[in-house]
Amino acid sequence: MPRFLKTVTRGFVVVLAFASGLSMALVFAIILANSLMRYTTGASLQWGEKLPIYLTIYGVMFGTALAYLLDRHVRFTIIIDTVNARLRHVFLLVVDVVMVVSGGLLAYAGWQFAERGGNLSASSIRTTARTLAETTGVDGLEIFGKLYPYQLAMAVGGVLVALAAFLKLVERAATDPDAEPATTAEMSETQL
């Protein structure tokens, strides 16, 4: 694989890992803060229930693309593990092409979903977004009071999965078919 492509792939892995980890950390922090406030003061954050749900969707999308790029995603390998390395390589190339197309379709469907319903208010976040926009003077922050940025997660995820699958396809195409690793670990490799 060309050096430039390795650098791009490595950078994409870092960005996806950071974004996925940040999503998880924010979800944890919001739920923790909301729980502590609820049990100590009797009141909770107005947006503390819905925002973690929306952040989790983004986290799943980042994590899915990362897992695909690292070849660590869930897959059924009953057939693929029984064939020789060259045929396995061809199967995996076909899967990569299918995933590029699937990611593109997910991005398109997610875009359409956000365009149709994105103007609806995210009721528990709307007031906070409006207050934040008024306080900072940045009117664009009011968008976070609508469902659009949260529904757009599907489109973002589709683009990320398609890009991850494309990078994996190029990497696999440049790899010697006989060097393709087995898709599952041997039992001896899993023992401590």
Report which residue type is found at 154.
M
pLDDT higher than 50, residue 178:
yes
* Contact between 144 and 132 (Cβ < 8 Å): yes
The residue among 166, 27, 153 whose CA lies nearest residue 97 is 166
pLDDT at 137: 82
Q: Is 121 helix (H, G, I), strand (E, B) or coil?
A: strand
Q: What is the mean pLDDT of residues 25-46?
A: 90
Q: Is 120 helix (H, G, I), strand (E, B) or coil?
A: coil
Q: How far is CA 84 from CA 48, 98, 180, in A?
A: 52, 21, 10
Q: What is the mean pLDDT of residues 91-115?
A: 93
pLDDT higher than 70, residue 182:
no
Domain boundaries, the chain: 3-182
* Contact between 166 and 8 (Cβ < 8 Å): no
* Euclidean distance between CA atoms 22 and 110, whole angstroms: 22
Residue 182: other Cβ atoms inside 10 A:
12
Q: What is the mean pLDDT of residues 148-157?
A: 87
Which runs of consecutive H residues, i.e. helices, occur in the chain? 3-40, 50-69, 85-117, 123-136, 148-151, 153-173, 187-190
* Contact between 141 and 132 (Cβ < 8 Å): yes
pLDDT higher than 50, residue 190:
no
**Helix 153-173 crosses helix 85-117 at what angle (to 10 degrees)?**
160
The neighbouring-strand residues paired with 82 are none
Which pLDDT tens digit goes with each residue over 10-23? Answer: 999 999 999 999 99
Which pLDDT tens digit goes with each residue over 65-82? Answer: 999 999 887 777 788 878
pLDDT bin (cut points 50, 70, 90) of residue 157 is very high
pLDDT bin (cut points 50, 70, 90) of residue 180 is low
* Contact between 152 and 118 (Cβ < 8 Å): yes
97 or 113, which is more confident?
97
